[in-house]
Structure 1
Amino acid sequence: MKAAAFEHHEPTTVDKAVSLLESLDSPTILAGGQSLVPMLRFRLARPDTVVDINGIDSLDYLHEEDGYLKLGALARHADVEDSDLIDEKYGSFADTAPLVADPQIRNRGTIVGSIAQADPKGDWGSVLLAHDGEVVAQGPDGERVIPADELFLLPYDTSLGENELVTEARVPVPEAGEGSAYHKLKRKTGDYAMAGVAARLVLDDDGRITDAGIGMTAVDITNARAREAEAHLEGERPSADLFEAAGELAAEESNPESDEHGDASYKERMIDVLTQRALGDAAERAGVVKRRVTP
């Protein structure tokens, strides 16, 4: 089956793209297209107009600037996977990129596109939450910054305005004594997560946790934070017992549904296990000797 006919626009600047979004009737944005193109092919999506932003060269970047790691709207999963900067300083990003689908999809799919799609089974939303990240959106009224905690509303629904384009996702540059990790359970290569956990820890000179972030994948109606687990960690020294308690709290905060891949209780148990493992890796990367937890 082929896609239904649609009008195709290729802006070369962000201002032109925003102008198109404002003037056209219900346009659809195309970046990586790894979700949209299959839907077009099978006519699950039938937009009248597509705004293709791949010609906006200014959105193709991945770098540190002004205290943030910034990923432009055209930064691909493969760019993260291949980045020495990411490999050196951003453990959760380095863990996540190779777990996204397969190499063909990673070569075209974009991090920002995945975040903006707001699929609760998407990995990057959890990473953004764990890092207290933000997205930058450009609309007819100018630019605004949306914290990750305020972005995800419902499956495939965000707080973005109707005519806004996400131009960037960003997270703070790691502090001294900071480490992060991502663990994901899936049936086979290319699958979405059955469950996933992103974890970030910041340790002070005394080895105590001063800040913690835990983002969960595929166990609620959106990517979600385990706030009680985060609070339980702060002020404590990393240990297997501490991480076990945090894993239990994260599982209690998750809200999975039973489906063909497993019942809710199984997924809660997986969140418990994955949280412990992600916290163990994050602590090791923050400079703590690793104590591998194998429940």
Structure 2
Amino acid sequence: MKPAPFEQHEPTTVKEAVSLLESLDDRAILAGGQSMVPMLRFRLAVPKTIIDINHVEGLDVFGEEDGWLRIGALVRHADVEHSDLIAEKYGSFADTAPLVADPQIRNRGTVAGSVAQADPKGDWGSVLLAHEGEVVAHGPDGERTIPADEFFLLPYDTTLDENELVTELRVPVPVANEGSSYHKLKRKVGDYAMVGSAARLILDDDGVIETANIALTAVDITNVRATDAEEHLEGERPSSDLFKRAGELAAEQSNPEADEHGGVGYKERMVSVLTQRALSDAAERTGAVKRTVKQ
């Protein structure tokens, strides 16, 4: 099946892109196109207008600035996958990028586009939540930042206004004694997550967990924080027993649905196991503790 006819615009500035969003009806934004193009092909989406933002200046920003890691709206999964900065300092990002789909999709698909798509089976939403990141959007009234905790509403639905354009994602630059990790279960290469768990830990100078963030993929209607498990961890020293209980709490707080890939009980068990592994890797990457879980 071929896409329905549409008109295409190629703005070169954020202001121009936002103006098009505001003035045109029945339009869609194209960045990497890894979600949009298949929808167009099968006519699951039939917009009258495509706004292609690949020529917009400044959306390819990627690096640290003013205490933030900035990931522009045109940064590809592959850019993150092959970044020395990411490999050195951002464990969960380095874990996630190679697990996204396949090389062809990673070469074109964008990290910000994946977050804006708000698929609860998407990996980057959980990583953004675990890092207490934020989404930067531009609209007719200018720029605003949306905390990741306030961004996701429902599957494929966010707090983004209809005339706003996501221009970048931001996460805080890691501090001393910080580590993060992401673990994912999928049926085969290229599949979405059946279950995923992102973990981020910050330890104080005495080796006690000062900050704990855990976010889950594909086990609720959105990417979601495992707040009960986070509270259980904070103020404690990393240990196998501690992480085991945190995994159990994350599983109890998850809300998976049975499907062809597994039942509820199986997925809850995978939440527990993957959360333990992610916490163990995150703790090890703080540089302050040795590996605490062997599975």
Q: TM-score, normalised by structure 1?
A: 0.99
Q: How many residues align?
A: 294
Matched residue, 1:171: 171
CA distance in 1, matches of 2:94, 2:164: 29
Pairing 1:53-202 to 2, within 5 Å after superposition: 53-202=53-202
CA distance in 1, matches of 2:282, 2:20: 43
CA distance in 2, matches of 1:267, 1:291: 23
Gaps of 5+ in 2: none
SS in 2 for 1:179: strand
CA distance in 1, matches of 2:16, 2:109: 22
Pairwise CA distance, 1:257: 0.4
RMSD over aligned Cα atoms: 0.6
Gaps of 5+ in 1: none
Matched residue, 2:294: 293
Deviations 1:91-146 (A, max 9, x none): 00000000000000000000000000000000000000000000000000111000
Q: Residue type of the partner of 1:78?
A: A
Matched residue, 1:206: 206
Q: TM-score, normalised by structure 2?
A: 0.99
Matched residue, 1:37: 37
CA distance in 2, matches of 1:215, 1:274: 11
Matched residue, 1:14: 14
Runs of 4 or more consecutive aligned structure 1 residues displaced over 6 Å after TM superposition: none
Q: Residue type of the partner of 2:142?
A: G
Q: 2:114·2:122 contact (CA, 8 Å) conserved in 1? A: yes
SS in 2 for 1:59: coil
Pairwise CA distance, 1:291: 2.2
Q: 1:280·1:291 contact (CA, 8 Å) conserved in 2? A: yes
Q: Residue type of the partner of 2:37?
A: V
Q: Residue type of the partner of 1:4?
A: A
Matched residue, 2:251: 251
Stretch deviating more after TM superposition (49-58 or 239-248): 49-58
Matched residue, 1:47: 47
Matched, 1:228 2:254: no
SS in 2 for 1:246: helix
CA distance in 2, matches of 1:27, 1:265: 41
CA distance in 2, matches of 1:207, 1:267: 32
CA distance in 1, matches of 2:173, 2:253: 28
SS in 1 for 2:149: helix
SS in 2 for 1:174: coil
SS in 1 for 2:54: coil
